[in-house]
Structure 1
Amino acid sequence: MSQVTRRIVRELHDEPHLEGRRITVQFLKEQVEERGLSPRTVADRHDLDVADVYRALTYYHDHPEEMRTIERQRQSAIEEHDHLTTDPDSVRD
């Protein structure tokens, strides 16, 4: 397991993530608060210090407006590109 304590930075797609990794604050929050995984489990699965997971959760809750803006941008991008995806039910043999 990594013993490097990472800072939260905004270098990747202008979204807060762990420094030196592509793991976003939003992803870590979803794993813990929406999927119900423990911070230790998430840390182990992604080779992180458990402190990094807690740091991301703290960042998420300390910056609610920023995180809501990011969530709206993600949803908008999904809707904007939805026409590019294929519905399995519409594909014929």
Structure 2
Amino acid sequence: MTITRDEDVIGGEPRLARTRIGVRHVATRVIDSGQSPAYVADQLDISLSSVYEALSYYYDNVDEMRSFERENEDAFERVRESSLKPKETVQ
């Protein structure tokens, strides 16, 4: 499997070819969640080599990955701020 990008799939973020599994998704599960690469491969139904390929891409492109993380966080914050808020209850 190779890493690919397509603006129409997961917002153009790097992903495993022929899947909707993003490099950041794989990296987050292994790095941040502490899941073993073998477990991630099993859970996502991909090969172990694909997990390592995603991790390799992540580490070779850390600045790019962090940029995507910031964009995602900023978008989430904009949505959160613009969402309807429940009315305060009067007691």
Of all paired residues, the percent bearing the same amino acid is 35
Q: 1:61 to 1:85 in 2, by over 3 A?
A: farther
State the match for 1:39 in structure 2. Answer: 37
Q: Whose relative contact order is higher, 1 or 2, with alpha carbons under 8 Å and at least 6 apart?
A: 1
| Runs of 4 or more above 6 Å deviation | none
Q: Specify every segment of 5 or more residues in structure 1 that has no aligned partner in the other structure, as ranges.
A: 1-5
- Choose which of 1, 5, 8 in structure 1 pairs with 2:3: 8
1:45-60 mapped onto 2 (5 Å cutoff): 45-60=43-58
- TM-score, normalising length from structure 2? 0.84
Counterpart-to-counterpart distance in 2, 1:26 and 1:64: 10
1:1-93 mapped onto 2 (5 Å cutoff): 6-11=1-6, 12=9, 13-83=11-81, 84=83
Q: 1:50 to 1:65 in 2, by over 3 A?
A: same
TM-superposed deviation, 1:86: 6.2
Q: 1:41 to 1:86 in 2, by over 3 A?
A: farther
Q: Specify every segment of 5 or more residues in structure 2 that has no aligned partner in the other structure, as ranges.
A: none
